[in-house]
């Protein structure tokens, strides 16, 4: 199988990187060889810009789409940003406080969390930037944010997703794991960010490959000319993908790149 793709967009967690945060040398070698052949790459992640740019550097250079599309770095180094409005931020703070839900937000490259959580302690972003625990968000000055994270028990997720979507219909609500809901501004998702990058690089969507592993990857996988789900993805994502790898995570990415660019 050979495709004439010019841009490969890759999610990070559960896709490009392994559980320990590394990228196998064999996959790095393939990516760098394809880069020398003129193939462009993009990191498309719900993680912070700092994390996206770290991995862009590791793979030898790539466009970055962070916070699920809220912040996009163009080839000239400028950023396209969109924030969740302050009114929506305050309403979400009240909702999470009433329902005793963990809430995480971002401002000026820092993480602000509503309390200590297993999610925060395992968040790779928290290893790179300053994290601040806020006992009560309603008591401090708040700001527009590129993304909000809500964490809860897996069994509560289906009903919680529906409730949040109904209450915050002007925001984009997605799931990045069985216990994590991610919230971005209206109309902002990974497809939005990838479209900006493709236009910036002069690449048609038919020449874009998008690879992901969870439901926040769905918009870009449906939008791209070729959407790929690694085997650890949920069935809802696999059903929308053009290709499903046999291997998981980074091994699945390597499998897909070898299949397409053999």
Give pLDDT tens digits for 149-165: 999 888 999 999 999 99
CA 11-12-16 angle, to 5 degrees, is 90
Half-sphere exposure of 103 (CA within 13 A, CB side): 23
DSSP string, 12-42: TBTTTB-TTS---HHHHHHHHHHHHTT-EEE
Q: Residue 3: is its pLDDT beyond 60?
A: no
What is the rounded CA–CA span in Å between residue 138 and residue 122?
Answer: 25
Q: Which of 258, 167, 253 is nearest to 217 (CA)?
A: 253
Render the burial of 37-48: b for 16+ CB within 10 Å, e for the rest: eebbbbbbbbbb
Which contiguous run of DSSP H or E holds residue 64? strand 63-66
The average pLDDT across 119-148 equals: 89
**Sign of the C-alpha dihedral computed for residues 244, 250, 254 and 260 taken in this order:** positive
pLDDT of amino acid 116: 67
pLDDT tens digit string along 31-68? 999 999 999 999 999 999 999 999 999 999 999 999 99
pLDDT for the residue 1: 41
Label the pairing between strands 71-73 and 63-66.
antiparallel
The label of the residue with tokens 């690449």 reads 203
- CB-CB contact of 107 with 143 (8 Å): yes
End-to-end distance of the chain based on CA atoms, in angstroms? 8
pTM: 0.92
Convert the pLDDT of each residue in 176-202 to its tens digit: 878 889 999 999 999 999 999 999 999
Confidence band for 2, pLDDT divided at 50, 70 and 90: very low
């Amino acid at each position: 199988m050979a495709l004439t793709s010019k841009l490969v967009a890759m999610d990070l967690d559960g896709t490009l990187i392994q559980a320990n945060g590394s990228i196998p040398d064999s996959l790095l070698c393939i990516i760098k060889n394809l880069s020398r052949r003129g193939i462009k790459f993009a990191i498309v992640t719900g993680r912070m810009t700092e994390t996206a740019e770290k991995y862009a550097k590791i793979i030898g250079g790539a466009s970055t789409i962070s916070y699920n599309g809220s912040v996009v770095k163009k080839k000239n180094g400028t950023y396209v940003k969109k924030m969740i409005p302050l009114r929506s931020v305050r309403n979400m703070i009240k909702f999470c406080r009433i329902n005793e839900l963990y809430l995480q937000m971002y401002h000026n490259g820092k993480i602000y969390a509503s309390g200590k959580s297993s999610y925060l302690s395992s968040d790779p972003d928290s290893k790179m930037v300053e994290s601040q625990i806020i006992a009560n968000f309603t008591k401090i000055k708040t700001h527009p944010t590129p993304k909000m994270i809500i964490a809860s028990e897996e069994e509560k997720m289906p009903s919680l997703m529906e409730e949040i979507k109904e209450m915050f219909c002007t925001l984009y609500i997605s799931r990045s794991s069985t216990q994590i809901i991610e919230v971005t501004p209206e109309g902002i998702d990974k497809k939005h960010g990838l479209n900006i990058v493709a236009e910036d690089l002069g690449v048609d969507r038919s020449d874009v490959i998008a690879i992901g592993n969870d439901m926040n990857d769905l918009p870009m996988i449906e939008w791209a000319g070729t959407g790929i789900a690694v085997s650890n993805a949920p069935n809802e994502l696999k059903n929308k993908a053009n290709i499903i790898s046999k291997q998981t995570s980074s091994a699945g990415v390597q499998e897909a790149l070898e299949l397409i660019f053999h």
